[in-house]
Each structure stands twice: as C-alpha cells, then as structure tokens.
A and B are shown apart, each in its own frame.
Chain A
Amino acid sequence: AQRVTQPEKLLSVFKGAPVELKCNYSYSGSPELFWYVQYSRQRLQLLLRHISRESIKGFTADLNKGETSFHLKKPFAQEEDSAMYYCALSAPYNTDKLIFGTGTRLQVFP
C-alpha cells in the first residue's frame, strides 16, 4: 500500500536550533517525494521535491531508499519557519495523485 508517515504531529524548537521533520514512506517502486508547507493564513505550497536536489529557504531533504525516508532538515531554525509541513509522494512521472502524510506542525520559539 502507498503510504506516507509523519510520526510527529508537533515539533517545537528554539530559534537557531537544528530541525528535522521526519517522513517515512511505503511504496512499491521509486516514488517522487515532496515537501509542502502551509504558513499561517496562507495556501499550501510546494517547498521542495527530491528530484530537484535543491535547498529552499535553507531546507534540504535527502531521499534514503534503504530507510524509505525523506526527512526535511534545516541547520538553524528561524521563527518564520513556523508552519504546517506535509510530506507527499506520487508515482514517478505522474504527479497527479499526490498522497500526503498527516503533517507536522513546526513551532519555532524566539
């Protein structure tokens, strides 16, 4: 079964601390993995995708096929990073059907 698991509903850190939002997936094959973010009172938007291999707003995510994980990391959290983060997967070359995890709310305290 295709599934995305985000084990933490809430992650609280202080400004400047490292952040790691966990994401594990279940998929028979090689899916495409994504991180979406929803800031307060804003629309859900794409943060990054694994095939891009880029860093967005200081965040990076590495696909680990052995551990079936796609954890989102940032070395130094900022208050403006506070938001809801969703990990998602889709079939390769067909991103129509995105399957989302339950989301993790990141709170960054000053």
Chain B
Amino acid sequence: DAGVIQSPRHEVTEMGQEVTLRCKPISGHNSLFWYRQTMMRGLELLIYFNNNVPIDDSGMPEDRFSAKMPNASFSTLKIQPSEPRDSAVYFCASSLGDSRSFGSGTRLTVV
C-alpha cells in the first residue's frame, strides 16, 4: 500500500494563477481531510469529507479555496486566484475509524 498519495510534491506559481492540489486516499478509507501547515499557525484543518460528502469546511480560509471529492479515490483542493500568503505545505489525510494516514504533502509557493 503506497499510502495517501499527493501531487504535485512541489508547486511554484505566480500570484493570481489557479492552483490545483490532488490527493488519492488509501483504498477503503471513508474520510478525507485537507490540512494547511505554516510556521505561524501549525496544522490547520481546512475541510473534511466523509463518504465523499463535505462535512465541515469551516476551516477554508475564504472563497478562493474550494475542495471536491468526486469519488472515493480522488480529491482536489483548488485555490483561485492564488496569493503569496497561501504559501504553505498542504497535507491530505484519510482515515477509517481511528486509523488515520497522512500524505507527504504539497509544498506550495506563490510568488
């Protein structure tokens, strides 16, 4: 099992551009989480899905951020338009019951 797979590993983009981060959860896991990691704020939960349905998106910073989970094996986090303050490491995690696994993260740099 390759675990939670995130792509890309690194993304550098210019301010104003659209950015799409991708996540493939572990097969059989029924919950998926998107986190943002920064030095100042640590790990923040942005949104999570249960059985492909968004349950809590209260952590999504603003309307520029959106997330989808069209099926049990794929999710995207989109930022449009991106801003320099969005620069962070974005983690995806999936879980089944109490067993939670994190991806390696996508390091996003917006210049």
Interface size on B, residues (CB 8 A): 25
- Listed in ascending order, the chain A residues whose CB lies under 8 Å from chain B are 6, 43-46, 86, 88, 95-103
Residues in chain B near residue A101, CB distance under 8 A: 42
Q: Are A103 and B42 in contact (CB under 8 A)?
A: yes
Known: A43-B3, A96-B50, A97-B56. A102 touches B42 (CB 8 A): yes
Known: A96-B31, A96-B50. A102 touches B41 (CB 8 A): yes
Q: Are A97 and B45 in contact (CB under 8 A)?
A: yes
Q: What are 29 inter-chain pairs, A to B, with CB distance below 8 A?
A: A43-B3, A43-B4, A43-B101, A43-B102, A43-B104, A44-B43, A44-B102, A45-B102, A46-B100, A88-B43, A95-B95, A95-B98, A95-B100, A96-B31, A96-B33, A96-B50, A96-B95, A97-B45, A97-B48, A97-B56, A99-B45, A100-B35, A100-B43, A100-B44, A100-B45, A101-B42, A102-B40, A102-B42, A103-B43
- 6 A-B pairs with the lowest CB-CB distances in the bound complex, closest first: A102-B42, A100-B43, A44-B102, A103-B42, A43-B102, A100-B42
Distance of A102 Cα from B36 Cα, bound (Å): 11
Q: Check B55 for interface membership: any CB of A closer than 8 A.
A: yes
Residues in chain B near residue A98, CB distance under 8 A: 33, 45, 100
Residues in chain A near residue B3, CB distance under 8 A: 43
Q: Check B34 for interface membership: any CB of A closer than 8 A.
A: no
Distance of A45 Cα from B91 Cα, bound (Å): 12
Distance of A86 Cα from B102 Cα, bound (Å): 13
**Residue among A45, A86, A101, A102 with the highest chain B CB neighbour number at 10 A:** A102
- Residue ID in chain A nearest B43 by CB atoms: A100
Given A44-B93, A101-B42, 10 more pairs with CB closer than 8 A: A43-B3, A44-B91, A44-B102, A88-B43, A95-B95, A99-B45, A100-B42, A100-B43, A102-B41, A103-B42
Residues in chain B near residue A6, CB distance under 8 A: 42
Chain B min CB distance to A3 (Å): 11
Q: Are B42 and A86 in contact (CB under 8 A)?
A: yes
Residues in chain A near residue B4, CB distance under 8 A: 43
